[in-house]
Every structure is written in structure tokens, then in C-alpha cells.
Amino acid sequence: MALQVIVGAGPVGRGVARLLADRGERVRLVSRRGTGPEHPGIERVGADAADLERLAELTEGAAALYNCANPAYHRWATDWPPIAATLLAVAERTGAVLATTGNLYGYGPVDGPITESAPLRPNGVKGQVRAKMWQDALAAHQAGRARVTEVRGSDYLGAGAQTLFTLLVVPKVLAGKRASVPADLDAPHSWTYVGDVARTLVAAADDERAWGRPWHVPSQPPVSVRALAARLAELAGAPAPRLASMPPAVLWLGGLFDPTARELRETAYQFRRPFVLDSSAATATFGIEPTGLDAALRETAGRTPAASR
């Protein structure tokens, strides 16, 4: 089997590595510290994702190069450009398909369900960074220098996911404590299971129909923060959630002292209004159905892993 190279050992990178290794592929998982799942089919390598020569050496002969890197949230503007440029250059040099884990930031605020055909109109720095990453990759693809695709999901659920819901709501609900959330608690919101991100990345890298365009990860119908927290409590046997909507001014003040809170200001619109992902194209093309919400929530809460069901 051909070599498959994954950059980033976070939840998505680990998921991609396991999927590929379990089907018998040669897998090389590259991260700064050389971490990752212990699996006989996974070679773990420590390297800097922005080191062009080293990454090109590690990717030589690979069928696909998966960008599952995840710089610190408040350092996207500094850390993403050199990493993205390096991975694209490596894909051009080696011929490996570049499959990137994306998100919805590049669209900016959108009225109605977000489809892959929505224009990229970012409203802040992080969105601009993600939009340029895709525009550069697409330009290389259209010029015949590389084969690329990007897979975009909404806020993650699942083991290791770090989102507003998993960080601010889940621990409080499981502990029976009150949670304050910078959100409209009743606005419909799409959630994406990390295992489905991995499945879609692998499918997109394998299928030439996927190259040259983005895809949205198959995700369940939207559910509000309040409804999601209530279902989490039911599944975990925890008390009914006590939630409060954090006023925008409180988030703004928190950003004066906390860099992550400061960065959340840019994407506050995603939780203050309906935020709905249309993922029908990927389901129709690849036959991927989204993982059930209950299974994803159980894994998020540290109960039964959804991937083992």
C-alpha cells in the first residue's frame, strides 16, 4: 500500500491515522513532539510542520498528505501561514494529494444554511487566514501544480474536541454546576463529530472527484446549545443543566486578560444567531452518513467511544 502522511496529532489527525492504518496503509504521523496512537501500522515522527525540506523528505512517495495541524487559537495569524505554505509546497514537490482540515470561518456571517458554494467573505483575521489558505491551494490546483481538497466542519463533538461547548458547557453540566455561555442558547447550531471529519478527509483524499473543491463534513441536523446540554445531561445521568447566556460585554472584558477569550470576539456571530451547515453534497458523493448525536455526546463526555459502536 502507498504511504500516507498526516501532519498533526490532534483528534482529527489521530482519527485519520487509525482509519488508514486499520485498512492496511503505511501511515506516517508527523507532529512536533512525535506523539500519536500506538498502532503497529503507524510510524510517529517528531518534526516541525513548517520545515519544508524535512517534511518533503518525510512525504516523498506518499499518495496523500493530510493537513490536520492545529496551531494555538490565538496564534493563527502568526503560525498558520508558514505551515500552510510548507504543506502546499510539499504537495507540489512530491505529487501527494493535499487534504486539509478546514472550518467555516472563511465564510463569515451567512444568512441561511451554509453550502460549499457560499463565497468566502471573512469578517476577521482568523477567517482571512483560513480563506487565504484555501485560495492559495486552489490556485495551485487550477494551475496544475498540485491536487488539493479541503474538508470543513462546524464546532466539534467527540474525544479531545476543544470548542465553546466542550470547554464551557460539558464540564459544568457533568458536575451539576451552572454554565455561562457567550451564545443565544436557543439558536439552531450545527455540530460535527471529529470521527466524521476523519472519515470525510480520507474519502476526499482517495476520490479524484473531490479534488479542486471544498466539502462539508456530514453533520446531524442543527441543535441549540440548550437542547444539546439537556441531552448530554440525560445521557450522563447528570442533573438538568443550568445555563445562562453570557452578555457580549462580559466576553469583551474577558478578552482584555485572556487571549482565547479575545479571539472568540471575532466568531461570536456563530453562536449569537442561527449557524447551520449544509453537508448534503458530501453524503451524496461519498455515501457518508453522520454519526448519531447520542454516540458523539457519549464520547464527548468520556463515556462509550462513538467509533467503537
Q: Which of 248, 232, 117 is nearest to 180 (CA)?
A: 248
Q: How far apart are CA 55 and CA 254, in angstroms?
A: 38
At residue 32, the pLDDT reads 95
Q: How far apart are CA 210 and CA 108, in angstroms?
A: 23
pTM of this prediction? 0.94
How many CA atoms are closer than 13 Å to the CA of 132, on its beta-carbon side?
14
Q: Which helix (H) or strand (E) holds 193?
A: strand 191-193
Q: How far apart are CA 253 and CA 237, in angstroms?
A: 35
Provide the pairing of β-strand 97-102 with 191-193.
Answer: unpaired
Count the Cβ atoms, other than its own, within 10 Å of residue 106: 25
Whether 91 shows a pLDDT value over 90: the answer reads yes
| Alpha-carbon 63 to chain mean position | 22
Residue 3 CA: distances (Å) to CA of 26, 29, 45, 64, 163: 5, 11, 14, 8, 32
β-bridge partners, 45: 30
Query: pLDDT tens digits for 126-153?
Result: 999 999 999 999 999 999 999 999 999 9
Whether 198 shows a pLDDT value over 90: the answer reads yes
At residue 274, the pLDDT reads 97
β-bridge partners, 114: 277
Count the Cβ atoms, other than its own, within 10 Å of residue 72: 11
Mean pLDDT of the chain: 93
At residue 255, the pLDDT reads 45
